[in-house]
Amino acid sequence: MARMSPIFRRKQGRAPEDRLVTLIRKPGCHLCDDAQSVIEKVCGDLGVPWEHKDIDHDPQLHDQYWEQIPVVLVDGEQHTFWRVDENRLRKALTD
Inform me whether the pLDDT recorded for 37 exceeds 50: yes
Mean pLDDT value across residues 57-71: 94
| Cβ-contact 44, 15 below 8 angstroms | no
Q: Give me the pLDDT at residue 9, please.
A: 38
Inform me whether the pLDDT recorded for 7 exceeds 70: no
Taking the CB of residue 25, how many other CB atoms lie within 10 A of it?
23
